Amino acid sequence: MHQQPIRRRALLALAGASALPALAGPADDWPNKPVKVIVSLPPGSGADTIARFLAPRLQQRFGQPFVVENRTGANSFIAAQFVARAPADGYTLFWASNSPMTTNLVSFKQLPYDPIADFTPLAVAARFPMVFVVPAASPLHSMADLTAHLRAGGGKVPFGSGTATYRLAIEQYHLQAGVAGTHVPYKGTSAAVMGLAAGDVAYSLAEISAVVPLIKGGRLRALAVTSRQRLRELPEVPTMAEAGIPGHEVHAWVGGFFPARTDSAIVAKVAKAVLEVVRSPEGMAYITSLGGIPSPMGPKELGAFQESEVAQLRAVAARVGMEQE
């Protein structure tokens, strides 16, 4: 099923090669005006903070402002559709999380944009590990405890998630451990973790920055992190592999995309600049300070990674019978 987007992207690349003179000016004239950087999430989110970190450094590199605009709401449809419909001239850039670029393709029956065909991959800057958490008063102290509790619960133990990204990551754990729970949807990650802290559900999963304050504040307990290595912020918390669930390595991530058919030379110039910033000591320190993992990835790698993640998410959704909205 996931081969269809791959064919579309390949065909678009070929079509774009012949249409470039009509769609974009010569790359050596770019940029000659400000570049819009569209973010689908609110100020303070991982995508927003990294976009605002990159913007002045790209301006310094290219001599034109990179202006961050937050176009939030509607499951990132508003921002994604705006960029998808923008001219492919290099002056509109989507700085996105994985939700609009992979998860939405699995979660919704109809999208007003195509995350694969409507965009040209640019670069990934960072990944953000997730944390399995339970209320601080829970009798569960490990993933082994949680797995045993779910087996005894016969699929009726409630778990919360604020987005489809987190639900699918939890369902992946269910599949690997041979257990199930009852999903309780929340409108956003903040609502989900607060509901968990109140004891309305038994367990949840969220990106590190959303749960560390509640863990440090004594309202949540961390059971495991989904990164390959333990986290500096939670050094006592085991990885999923250490907790007995090998292969469960999932992250939220943020990266950039231009509209489809953007001049490949422009894409290459911007990708090179973004990756240089991410790989710099300053860039690595900044991403790490947010709880992220610097993850420089260029256009080809991002395109392949995006398509692979869509296929993986589709497989999980199909196995657990997750209905599309």
The C-alpha atoms of residue 236 and residue 232 are separated, in whole angstroms, by 9
- pLDDT band at residue 22 under the 50/70/90 scheme: very low
How much is the pLDDT for 25? 52
Q: Do residue 262 and residue 152 come from a single domain?
A: no
pLDDT tens digit sequence for 70-96: 999 888 999 999 999 999 999 999 999
Using H for helix, E for strand and C for coil, what is the string for 46-108?
Answer: HHHHHHHHHHHHHHHHHCCCEEEEECCCHHHHHHHHHHHCCCCCCCEEEEEEHHHHHHHHHHC
* 184 part of a folded domain: yes
Helix axes 164-177, 299-320, angle to 10 degrees: 60
Picking from 76, 82, 110, the residue whose alpha carbon sits closest to that of residue 96 is 76
Look up the CATH number of the domain holding residue 152: 3.40.190.10
Residue entry with tokens 């778990």 = 159
- Residues 97, 175 within the same domain: no
Alpha-carbon distance 45 to 172, whole Å? 25
Tell me: do 206 and 261 sit in the same domain: no
State yes or no: pLDDT of 44 exceeds 50: yes
Contact assessment for residue 9 and residue 117, using Cβ atoms and an 8 Å cutoff: yes
In a domain, 245, yes or no: no
Q: Are 273 and 62 a contacting pair, CB within 8 Å?
A: yes
Is there a single domain that holds both residue 121 and residue 12? yes
Domain CATH code at residue 302:
3.40.190.150
Evaluate if residue 29 carries a pLDDT over 70. yes
Q: For residue 9, name the pLDDT band (cuts at 50, 70, 90).
A: low
* pLDDT score at 27: 79
Residues 74, 156 share a domain = no
Verify that 164 and 302 share a domain, yes or no: no
In a domain, 242, yes or no: no
Residue 54 lies in a domain: yes
pLDDT tens, position by position, 201-210:
999 999 998 9
Residue 231 lies in a domain: no
Q: pLDDT at position 102, please?
A: 97
Round to the nearest angstrom and report the end-to-end CA distance of the chain: 19
Residues 20 and 53 in one domain: yes
Question: 71 and 213: one domain?
Answer: no
Residue 233 forms part of a structural domain:
no
Average pLDDT on 247-269 reads 96
Q: Please, which residues bridge with residue 297 across strands?
A: 124
Quote the tokens at residue 133: 């958490």
Q: How deeply is 26 buried, as exposed, middle or buried, from its count of CB atoms within 10 A (0-12, 13-18, 19+)?
A: exposed
Residue ranges making up the domain that contains 197: 129-225
pLDDT score of 291 more than 80: yes
| Residue at 244 is within a domain | no
Together in a domain, 10 and 120: yes
Whether 56 has a pLDDT exceeding 50, the answer reads: yes
C-alpha atoms less than 13 angstroms from C-alpha of 323 in its C-beta half-sphere: 3
Do residue 11 and residue 69 come from a single domain?
yes
Give me the numbers of helices (H) and strands (E) for the chain, helices first please. 12, 10
Cα–Cα distance, 103 to 74 (Å, whole number): 14
Does 141 lie in the same domain as 181?
yes
Determine what percent of the chain is predicted with pLDDT higher than 70: 92
For residue 204, the 8-state DSSP code is: E
Residue 274 falls inside a structural domain: yes
3-state secondary structure of 144: helix
Given a cut of 60, whether residue 23 has pLDDT beyond it is no
pLDDT at site 24: 43
Tally of domains within the chain: 2
The answer to whether residues 121 and 135 belong to one domain is no
Radius of gyration of the CA atoms of the chain, in A: 20
